[in-house]
Amino acid sequence: MMMLYSCVLTLHDNVFFASREMGLLFETEKFFHNWGLSYALFSGRELPQMYRLTGEAAQRPSYFHPTAENRLEVLSDLDIYVFPAQPLQWSYQINTFKAAQTTYYGKSKQFGDKGADRNYPINYGRAKELAVGSRFRTYILAPETVVIPRWIRLGKWAGKVQVEVEAIPPECQTIDRGDYCCDHPLNPLDLPPETRVRLYDRVVMPPASLLRRSQLSGEYLALRGDAWDLWRQERELPQKLNLPYGSRYGANYHAPTP
């Protein structure tokens, strides 16, 4: 049986990924992309996680690459889909990082220095990281039998994140068709092909920008009414929640065959 899970992520370490790079400053967006989250949640179990990457494989993303063992279609085949995550409460911390040498002290190559091919020092930078204690919410569609880990690691520093997951009772959910609003961030490339996007705010981040506060039309999963009101009490959940029905990894995207 397919279940919709509500999932709260709490940061127990700083999480950093470079959504924007501005010279020395690397900034983390306050949304978690659903593709990255999917790898964090299901690598090592559903998705094979290779220790070693070489040559071409180390440089290209494996999301939809036809020969990649860990492409996202593996999850689609298991009927698993993870939505992007929305911040509930967040703060930032800026930290400087550098790559040291064995001599214990590495002098940064300054602008114009010999060996500096960029106009900023090449072995250090400042990371604007999501701070410990920040909390996010996401939704997962998966079969009842799926195992969702209690701890995952996210971002470039592999920060430890606590996962609290609860299945939303099926009586709260109805499938509707027509125009609807969705506040939760969505990945436009994963939307069902017949769904139309009318209005949206864009969250600019790689590998594919997200939509939020969007108006769409198509088939959708609606959570509202008395059963929902009763269940969502004391759970920080919205009064009304609509999610596109039939989202799948890359449903709206076809990778060019190499």
Partner 1 sequence: MLDHLKEHFVKEFPRIASGHYIHLFVLRHSQSFPVFQTDGVLNTARTQAGLTKHRDLFNRLVMFKRKQTTPERLTGRELLRALDITSQAKDAENYCAYNGEDSCKQCPDCILYGFAIGDSGAERSKVYSDSAFSLTPYETSHQSMTFNAPSEAGAMSEGGVMRHSINEQDHVIPEITFPVVETLRDVTYEGFIYLVGNLLRTRRYGAQESRTGTMTNHLVGIAFCDGEVFSNLRLTQALYDRLENPEQIPGIDGLKLLAETTVRELLAEEPVRQTRVLFGDDLAEIMKNVKGLYQDDEAIAAILTTLNQQTHQYAQTHGAKAKTTKKKSKK
Kindly list the residues in this chain that would bind partner 1 in the complex (CB under 8 A).
12-14, 43-45, 48-59, 67, 93-97, 99-102, 104, 131-133, 149-153, 157-160, 162
CA distances from 115 to 109, 194, 223 (A): 7, 53, 58
Toward partner 1, which CB reaches closer, 160 or 224? 160
For residue 34 the two structure tokens come to 């659903």
Q: Provide, rounded to whole angstroms, the least separation between the CB of residue 162 and partner 1.
A: 7
Rg of the Cα atoms in the chain:
20
Q: Closest separation between CB of residue 52 and partner 1, Å?
A: 5
- What is the closest distance, in whole angstroms, from the C-beta atom of residue 85 to partner 1 in the complex? 18
Instruction: Say how far apart CA 112 and CA 128 lie, in whole Å.
Output: 26
In whole angstroms, how close is the CB of 14 to partner 1 at the nearest point?
7
Smallest gap from residue 255 Cβ to partner 1 (A): 16
Pairing mode, if any, of strands 124-130 and 196-203?
unpaired
Closest C-alpha among 64, 71, 69, 38 to residue 154:
38
Distance CA 185, CA 204 (A): 12
Of 46, 234, 218, the closest CA to residue 140 belongs to 46
Of residues 54 and 239, the one with the C-beta less far from partner 1: 54
Query: With respect to partner 1, which residue has the nearer C-beta, 102 or 119?
Result: 102
Q: Which is nearer to partner 1, 90 or 253 (CB)?
A: 90
Helix (H, G, I), strand (E, B) or coil at 183: coil
- Nearer Cβ to partner 1 (88/175): 88
Shortest distance, position 251 Cβ to partner 1, whole Å: 27
Nearest to partner 1 of 37, 211 (CB atom): 37
Contact (Cβ atoms closer than 8 angstroms) between residue 110 and residue 101:
no
| Rounded-to-10 torsion of CA 167, 133, 156, 165 | -10
Strand partners, 9: 136, 163
Tokens of 71: 């492409």
